[in-house]
Amino acid sequence: MTPVELSRTVLRAVRRAVDAGELRVTVPARAVVGPPGAGGWGDYATNIALQLARPAGQPPLRVAEVIRPYLVDADGVGAVRITGPGFLNIRLRDSVAVRLVRRILAEGTRYGRGDALAGQVVRLRIPYDVRAEVLADALGRIVASQGGRAETGHGEPVTLRPVPAPEDPAPLGADAARWALLHPAPHDRPRITADHLVQRESNPLFRVRYAHARTRALGRNAADLGFSAEPGPVDDVDGSGALVGLLADHPRVLSAAATHRAPDRLARHLVSVADAVLPVLPAVLPRGAEKPSAAHRARLALAEAAGTVLAGGLFLLGIDAPEHL
């Protein structure tokens, strides 16, 4: 169900409440439906009860309580919860999060690939500089992920001229060196320091690779406990909504990185995904004598989807995504 279809569903619920004599209002032409705000729940939320409170002559919470049973009864709606001053929060039967996780697990590291540059040839003319070479190499894969083809060469006119590295990044090793050159925007001066090698939270590359390795470890641990991933509702886990939003945004980020010749956008996105998934991971496995349940399978599926996005993004940057770290 799309937001437009859900908006019509909300209006039908209002009309049913009016026809039943429970509300005395003119049914509006449009109901605003969007992602739940702070303190929200589910896949979507609508402020229709707040919109109708004054013409109905009733408090928003009362209007929401009147509309809620008609909305719960609608096709495609799984559950409805009232939050705040009267927001109706809606979880679809086949929720956005469930469909997204299922799609990511089905597509694997190809998730996010699109046709934004289908049939286009992107000609990159770069100076003889190590950072330019690394950016062009990453852009070749990112452009290909959007259906285009990059042709890299030297000479004039230069079309990609990032700020050069202040020193040779090779002593950092291949992965850390690439990250040091790709994570900053091309117009920013990269830092070539040992900070890229430390295994602690202050190092963004470590956080990304650690988050990926942890998702893979959870899959192995779950197999030892006799269960596997199965997409399902995860809105009972704090932070899951933010993570789902970042995973859903991955295709747009890849398209923007290709279109604007900006691998740094992908690198920063991977850091955001890692920072969002790490707080979710402690809830994946059963604790103590707790037995694996549908909730654990759904959380594992979400974690594996995040790990898939991290692995795919690191591959496009030319950086290894280790299973163990």
Name the least confident of 38-42, 139-143, 229-233: 38-42
Alpha-helix residue ranges (DSSP H) falling in the chain: 3-19, 48-56, 60-72, 96-107, 130-145, 174-182, 204-224, 240-248, 250-259, 263-277, 294-317
**Stretch 72-86: mean pLDDT:** 91
20 contacts: CB under 8 Å, gap ≥ 6 = none
pTM: 0.77
Q: Per-residue pLDDT tens for 260-305?
A: 999 999 999 999 999 999 999 999 999 988 999 999 999 999 999 9
How many whole angstroms separate alpha carbon 99 and alpha carbon 248? 10
Does residue 129 carry a pLDDT above 90? yes
How many whole angstroms separate alpha carbon 243 and alpha carbon 101? 11
Q: Per-residue pLDDT tens for 58-73?
A: 999 999 999 999 999 9
205 contacts: CB under 8 Å, gap ≥ 6 = 175, 176, 179, 183, 196, 319
How many whole angstroms separate alpha carbon 307 and alpha carbon 111? 12
Q: Per-residue pLDDT tens for 229-243?
A: 999 888 778 889 889
pLDDT at 95: 75
User: What's CA 223's distance to the chain center, in Å?
Assistant: 25
The alpha carbons of the chain give a radius of gyration, in whole angstroms, of 24
Token couple for 162? 């990032």
How many whole angstroms separate alpha carbon 33 and alpha carbon 122? 39
Quick one: pLDDT band at residue 117, thresholds 50, 70, 90? very high
CB–CB of 265/255 below 8 Å? no
